[in-house]
Amino acid sequence: MKQSKFEFEYEVYDDISQLSKEDADLLIRARGATANAYAPYSKFNVGAAALLVNGEYIAGTNQENASYPVGICAERVLLGSAATLYPDIPLIAMAISFNTAKEKSNHPISPCGMCRQSLLEYETRFKKPIRVIMGGMEGKIHIVQSSRLLLPFAFTSDELI
């Protein structure tokens, strides 16, 4: 038997003041988007904002449903909107934030497994990494240089050949 290890590096910032202007602006947009989330059941509002290669910004929010499997996460709302409004334009970066009355929004959250798979598909489609900026309404922020890093052993189109 041989053992292997999966490791990756990511950036950790104490707060938004340490980010570049571009990254801070994107996180501010994601934080603002949380106000538009439809989360009457969980009360866990998630906002995502992305910068596209053409300089445009797009946002998405989680949209819950009384039939829980029918809801959709902010990241996938954003990706669907981007693919519809700008079908040939890749994303440079996506910021994700959350707001809830249940706990302090002072730490990063990461995309769920389904969103990680969707982000990876989007990266693969455009052959361009998507930087992922993760933070709450305040506090520490994590940045990964590619969404691919969030999904080791990913299922990709290579498996379908």
The catalytic site residues sit at 75
Q: How far apart are CA 108 and CA 80, in angstroms?
A: 23
> What pLDDT score was predicted for residue 61?
98
pLDDT, one tens digit for every residue, the chain (161 residues): 999 999 999 999 999 999 999 999 999 999 999 999 999 999 999 999 999 999 999 999 999 999 988 999 999 999 999 999 999 999 999 999 999 988 999 999 999 999 999 999 999 999 999 999 999 999 999 999 999 999 998 888 888 87
**H or E element: which one contains 65?**
none
> What pLDDT score was predicted for residue 136?
98
Q: Do 133 and 143 touch, CB atoms closer than 8 A?
A: yes
Residues in the chain: 161
Q: How far apart are CA 87 and CA 85, in angstroms?
A: 6
Per-domain residue ranges for the chain? 17-142
How many Cα atoms within 13 Å fall on the side-chain side of residue 68? 2
What's the predicted TM-score (pTM) here?
Answer: 0.95
User: What CATH superfamily classification does 17-142 receive?
Assistant: Cytidine Deaminase, domain 2 (3.40.140.10)
User: CA 139: distance to chain centroid?
Assistant: 17
